Amino acid sequence: MGYPPPMDQNALKKQVGEAALKYVRDGMMLGVGTGSTVNFFIEALAASRIQLKGAVSSSEASSQRLRAAKIEVLELNDATTCDVYIDGADEVDRGLRMIKGGGAALTREKIVAAASRQFVCIADGSKLVDVLGKFPLPVEVIPMARSYVAREIVTLTGGQPEYRIGVKTDNGNVILDVHGLSITDPVKLETDLNQITGVVTNGIFARRPADVLLLGTPDGVKTSKA
Ligand SMILES: O=C[C@H](O)[C@H](O)[C@H](O)COP(=O)(O)O
């Protein structure tokens, strides 16, 4: 006996999900992301006494969880803006730029993030990287353009796009995951990929990075600001 057992990834996700409550106040319009880390945040929010004005959700899955927690979910068009957006990431760098979309929710996430005053990213320590791209980059594509877009991505990036078989986004589109990238200029690649006809959006969040990163580590939650 002596040393406590190491914290597993889920314990670290729970830790940051709970820590994110600090950024949420009564009367706020809250943007809510998608994924296992956000699910811990929704649990913590449901158990808290915080009375929101409402929430805007980035996926059908998160909307269901919010409603189950008796939190009113509004359309972004009705809410107009969100005070804070809380979401996870598949990778995040020290400039608080991210890769997102491992759960196929990237487009709605990017929209809600864009319409929010503050973006708080919550992630376990394994998500922190020096250079984005080890995690295959998700790109949401209009179904009929899939092969064309895949060829254009090869030409543009040299990466290898892989069709995420059996997955349809909440917007009715498909996902290409691009392997083999080392993204040294995330703003440029985010912009360039979005110029390919048939791309809805890609999972680089660099033009609108997070404002705050809460990183779960065995030594506690580490906070970084942009
Ligand atoms: O599409 C999914 C989202 O971008 C998630 O935020 C991302 O995949 C991280 O998910 P998790 O918290 O489950 O690691």
For the chain, the distance separating the N- and C-terminal CA atoms, rounded to the nearest angstrom, is 41
pLDDT at 1 over 50: no
CA of 34 to the centre of ligand 1 (A): 6
Average pLDDT over residues 152-173: 98
CATH of residue 218: 3.40.50.1360
Task: Take atom 8 of ligand 1 and give the residue whose Cα is closest.
Answer: 102
93 occurs within a structural domain: yes
What distance in angstroms lies between residue 105's CA and the mean position of ligand 1's atoms?
A: 8
pLDDT in tens, 90-117: 999 999 999 999 999 999 999 999 999 9
Give the tens place of pLDDT for each residue, 5-42.
667 999 999 999 999 999 999 999 999 999 999 999 99
Which pairing describes strands 29-32 and 82-87: parallel, antiparallel, or unpaired? parallel
Q: Residue 48 — left, alpha, or beta (φ > 0 → left; ψ -120 to 50 → alpha)?
A: beta
Q: Look at the chain and report how many structural domains it folds into.
A: 2
Residues 122 and 195 in one domain: no
Residue 195 has phi, psi (to 5 degrees) of -85, -15
Residues 211 and 198 grouped into a single domain:
no
Number of residues in the chain: 226
How much distance in Å is there from the Cα of 1 to the middle of ligand 1? 35
Provide mean pLDDT across the span 176-199.
Answer: 98
pLDDT in tens, 36-58: 999 999 999 999 999 999 999 99
Q: Note whether 119 and 174 are same-domain residues.
A: no
Query: Quick one: pLDDT at residue 6?
Result: 64
Point out the annotated binding site.
Answer: 34-37, 87-90, 100-103, 127
2-11, 92-101, 118-127, 164-173: least confident range: 2-11
Give the C-alpha separation, 224 to 178, whole Å: 28
Token pair 């290898």: residue: 160
Question: 196-214: per-residue pLDDT in tens?
Answer: 999 999 999 999 999 999 9
In the predicted model, is pLDDT for residue 2 greater than 70?
A: no
User: Do 169 and 188 reside in the same domain of the chain?
Assistant: yes
Q: Are residues 151 and 216 in the same domain?
A: no
Q: What does pTM read for this prediction? A: 0.95
Q: Does residue 127 register a pLDDT over 50?
A: yes
Q: 92 in ligand 1 pocket by Cβ < 6 Å?
A: no
**Is the shortest distance between the CB of 87 and ligand 1 below 6 Å?**
yes
Query: Is residue 221 scored above 60 in pLDDT?
Result: yes
**Is residue 46 located within the same domain as residue 110?**
yes
**Of 1-15, 24-38, 128-142, 152-166, the least confident:** 1-15
Q: Is 109 a catalytic residue?
A: yes
Side by side, which strands form the sheet with 212-217?
73-74, 54-57, 29-32, 82-87, 116-124, 212-217, 220-225
Q: Are residues 146 and 79 in the same domain?
A: no
Is 110's C-beta closer than 6 angstroms to any atom of ligand 1?
no
- The catalytic position among 18, 72, 91, 109 is 109
DSSP state of 32: E
At 165, which CATH number? Answer: 3.30.70.260
Is there a single domain that holds both residue 78 and residue 21? yes
Residues 6+ apart with CB under 8 A from 8: none
Q: Check if 101 has its Cβ closer than 6 Å to any atom of ligand 1.
A: yes
What residues make up the domain containing 177? 137-202
Residue 7 has what pLDDT?
A: 76
